A and B are shown apart, each in its own frame.
Chain A
Amino acid sequence: GAGVSQTPSNKVTEKGKYVELRCDPISGHTALYWYRQSLGQGPEFLIYFQGTGAADDSGLPNDRFFAVRPEGSVSTLKIQRTERGDSAVYLCASSAHGGETSGANVLTFGAGSRLTVL
């Protein structure tokens, strides 16, 4: 597709359950980002992939959060033992550019996956 696709658009789960959120970036974009956005706040960085590797995972809040991008395209954000505080919109973005141009910070975002933990 032409844009960044995220599924599911909405996910309601119970506390303690495992959740996977999928991101399909724009074809050919080598950089992929996950952000999290709570109500009324700006997006908060979680993790950045360059190709298949997680180049910066410093934003993952704890070891319950994990993300993969095995073939350098689709990425999955995995959350174990979900907690009510994990409720947020999880945003995925991709970029065609590497880190050495101003275009590296031009990101195309998906519509997000809204996670609600009851």
Chain B
Amino acid sequence: DAKTTQPTSMDCAEGRAANLPCNHSTISGNEYVYWYRQIHSQGPQYIIHGLKNNETNEMASLIITEDRKSSTLILPHATLRDTAVYYCIVRAHFSNAGNNRKLIWGLGTSLAVNP
């Protein structure tokens, strides 16, 4: 699975857009980009995923560059409850190695939304 690189931490003012970048320069053609977040003392929560087109749901938007080597998760109007660690993961939807289903998690970006 492709390795991802994210900034260690970011700050955002409440009500402003939070733009979280992720580099995945070695991504393969069959690999999707997934975003999860983890609020303190909770389990990770799925946010959004995409292959090459931009995606939007009720939580966030995902912008993937044309070469697919990087992406940005956008929280359009950040609230204090969005303070969390955000993880970017790349993974194929099928396995090239039997039943391998593991997601490889890095350290993520710790987002602090400030009042």
Q: Residues of A with Cβ closer than 8 Å to B?
A: 4, 31, 33, 40-45, 48, 50, 55-56, 58-59, 91, 93, 99-112
Contacts and interface: CB of A to CB of B under 8 A. Distances in A.
Contacts of B93: 99-105
Contact of B102 (A48, A108, A112): A48
A105 B44 contact: no
A99 B7 CA distance: 30
Interface stretch (B15-23, B61-69, B105-113): B105-113
Contacts of B60: none
A99 B101 contact: yes
Nearest to A112: B43
Contacts of A48: 99, 101-102
A111 B101 contact: no
Interface of B: 32, 34, 41-46, 49, 51, 87, 89, 91, 93-95, 98-108
A116 to B, nearest CB: 14
A106 B99 contact: no
Contact of A43 (B46, B51, B105): B105
Nearest to A6: B43
Given A99-B93, A100-B94, A109-B43, A56 B105 contact: no
A10 to B, nearest CB: 11
Contacts of A103: 93
A31 to B, nearest CB: 7
Given A40-B107, A42-B105, A112-B43, 13 more contacts: A42-B107, A42-B108, A45-B102, A48-B102, A50-B99, A58-B100, A99-B93, A102-B51, A104-B101, A105-B49, A105-B93, A106-B46, A110-B43
Contacts of B45: 109
A105 B94 contact: no
Contacts of B41: 111
Contacts of A33: 101
B101 A55 contact: yes
A1 to B, nearest CB: 14
B100 A108 contact: no
